[in-house]
Structure 1
Amino acid sequence: MATKKTFSSKPSTGSMAPWLGIAFIVILLDQLSKITITRLFALGEEKVITSFFNLVLAYNYGAAFSFLDKAGGWQRHMFTAIGIGAALYIIYLLKRNSGQRMFCWALALILGGALGNVIDRIAYGHVVDFLDFHWQAFGHFPAFNIADSAICIGAALFVLDELRRVNK
């Protein structure tokens, strides 16, 4: 008989260290890439890499897809607080479920991405974006960064993990 896996009411016996290590690697790669791009590019400067991909230095004062980008500044504090709150909750979930590999991979990627963007908001007042994908008549997808990519991959893994749980 298959048992349904649920969140444990007591901490699992696994270590949080590997998951925090993954989050740290995401933060490190994210911050190094942002430092590099800000030193090599002027704001708005673009370098064509392929027919569908450019590097471009852009600042995002809002959230995903520049949501609330022009809201007057208060959004910086709100998104910073949300990022810190999410990070604390993710650390709690990692502690409680550290033995669930895919679930923790998802959380670690989201944690690293969230903190990477929080660091930008605290240090610069905006998030540094630089990855610019585009496709012919469809135009440009909003620029993003490694932290955003980690969050999206983590979210996809989270959904996949949940679908696996439901199918068991």
Structure 2
Amino acid sequence: MRYGALFWAGFAAFLLDQASKYLVVHVMGVAQRGPIDVLPPLLVFRYGENRGINFGLFQGDNDAARWILIVLALAICLGVFVWLARSARSRWMLISGGLLIGGALANVVDRLLYGYVLDFLNMSCCGIDNPFVFNLADVFIFAGALGLMLFDGKKAP
């Protein structure tokens, strides 16, 4: 199995997410300054603390919920890795798995460091005001999961 594609995709996703959060949250100070218009309304940096999963679902402001989400994310990462390792997968499958794992691990690091996931991306369009914020790790998780479905090599029935 070509683990290189899996490793480098995961490493890149992890690094890009953590670097973007550091830049926007800590260097640019979006939490203190308030929203920063990048390409309004399409792209606005807006600070958020996500103590649940995507879109703020299953919000829990206690340590038990935090650790459950950390263990769940690590179990999913391990499951995806084992699944990819058990049989020969295409390069695109490995890259997709790496993006998913790297994004998930980046959010795990946030939960370990801060107790929540740092979010800062907000996108709205066409008169719809989107109240949700997300981060690059969420994008990588979504893209990785989509890639795993699209590049699995199985034909639809």
- C-alpha deviation, 1:62, in angstroms: 0.8
Q: Does 1:33 align with 2:23?
A: no
Q: Does 1:17 align with 2:4?
A: yes
Instruction: Decide whether the 8 Å contact of 1:16 with 1:94 is kept in 2.
Output: no
- C-alpha deviation, 1:76, in angstroms: 1.0
Q: Does 1:61 align with 2:61?
A: no
- C-alpha deviation, 1:150, in angstroms: 0.4
Alignment of 1:1-168 (within 5 A): 14-39=1-26, 40-43=28-31, 45-51=34-40, 52-162=42-152, 164-167=153-156
* Structure 1 residue ranges (4+ consecutive) displaced by more than 4 angstroms after TM superposition: none
Instruction: Decide whether the 8 Å contact of 1:98 with 1:104 is kept in 2.
Output: no
- C-alpha deviation, 1:115, in angstroms: 0.5
How many residues are matched?
Answer: 154
Instruction: Decide whether the 8 Å contact of 1:97 with 1:104 is kept in 2.
Output: no
- C-alpha deviation, 1:93, in angstroms: 2.1
SS at match of 2:45: strand
Q: Deviations over 1:94-141 (max 9, x none)?
A: 322354222222211111111010110111100011111012532115
SS at match of 2:2: coil
C-alpha separation in 2, matches of 1:50 and 1:42: 15
RMSD between aligned residues = 2.0
C-alpha separation in 2, matches of 1:73 and 1:134: 32
Gaps of 5+ in 2: none
Question: Normalization by structure 1: what TM-score?
Answer: 0.82
SS at match of 1:158: helix
Gaps of 5+ in 1: 1-13
SS at match of 1:113: helix
Moved more, 82-91 or 131-140: 131-140
SS at match of 2:31: coil
